[in-house]
Structure 1
């Protein structure tokens, strides 16, 4: 009985290690692919800035940042699972490992879907009704997935690219120095960039959708 239980334990651990290896191999494939895709997204952002289309440049950089962040988080998760699967107390963490591997499979499918290919990236430059609908879809999806820190880093990159393309550095407005009324306290909890992003989203949501062209 003891030997049988030990055999089953080793088998489960070996399978978990194999699943982990397969997930890491898949992740490394995506990491190689994303260098090509993100390079093109950066080029698109520069082209958009050169013609004064800052909103579409921001969208390209937000999409790029989201993909990079997704890969980084998945890599960190798989590294943690690798430690757990090699632990001598694997039986104690087996449930957590198997759940983590299941979640990893889901995330890898999401990465595959979100990365798409260069064709999907090129749609960020499209002017057709279909391309614009795709751009709105991407923007709405990113709004619920990226942290404020991610958004700030994207806007820093946008500022740097804009300075590179136009030779003009942008400067954020200074924070107010006078005390605000108590009713405005909630607004002060947002950074200037967060307020600007919220206002932009509010304006976009209040605008009627453009009719689809035949």
Structure 2
């Protein structure tokens, strides 16, 4: 158990936040009377927190699926700021009422499944009711003035979680479903909840047998039901032998592992003694090593023999199971064949079936004949009418095709007109360009002529000037 259980709950339980502690540590008995909804929320939070803490081995007890209601529990739940929880017994009353917790005495005394609601109370329930009527117990059976009644409560959630985890660990083979109590305890220790006390294992076995119908057990052997069975089968002498052999094999495997480790350690000790020149210690270690090796060989030989025997047993069990299936199948086929009456009966039935089917065809032909024998259909008229319908349909198709053709021709004519218009525009544009080019050419020629005339006049003037003639 941690030093501060409250801090552990605040850290691991979602419903146990620090902001909720004032409400959780208030007087729950008064809250139940004044605020039913608030009490229900707080009671649910306490039940979840106590379940989580118990399964995680955080409560002041060695048990995990059983909660001890006592003053020691209240002290462990003491908060430095809010003190011990007040009215926690009312929370246990609510948990018992809704089936989350069950008093150990009620659990052990129940003759039927705890999931079966029965109006017949258990003997301990009758005693508790009588004591309450006599005033020896308070109205809340676990709530005492300033404290809580000492008792033991079974955590149903813990049992259900263990049931689910164990089912996933058990093999499907017949020999896998048979084990000793020691092997069963080992299976439990490998779950997330871990090892349980002997009392808790007995509670779990009762739960798996009576309430879950998953196994049968006696003082030494446990047998899980087959996957295809509705209920577990009784334990036989063969089952007890299988469980014993499996236990012995597991014990020898543990001894072999221990002896192997011991031999390795003695070898290291002898080597260290030789290095330190301690002959006496080295010889002593080597003698012990030889004895351990002799024991290891004996254990290994025995283990090999038992494993061979166990393999034969597994083979025999599988063969027996196969034969049982084959025998059951043969009986089923025999019963079905008997119900059919054999091949002759089947042939007779098939003949009757063919006869009846022929009569059905004949009746159908009679029914299909016209009531008036003269009212015979004229096949020629039918053909003529069919031909007329074909012609009418073809005419409709021709008319639709003609309309489509006209539409396409109109579109082509429109496209052709548009093409001619574009061609004319291009021709007009080209003609304008040619005229412009001619005008530019003419203008250029005139300019050239003007430049030439100006040149000649300048040359003539220069020549007259040279001759000193008037211009």
TM-score by length of 2: 0.18
Q: Which has the larger radius of gyration?
A: 2
TM-score by length of 1: 0.32
Name the structure with the higher strand share.
Answer: 2
Name the structure with the higher helix share.
Answer: 1
- Of structures 1 and 2, the one scoring higher in RCO (CA 8 A, sep 6+) is 1
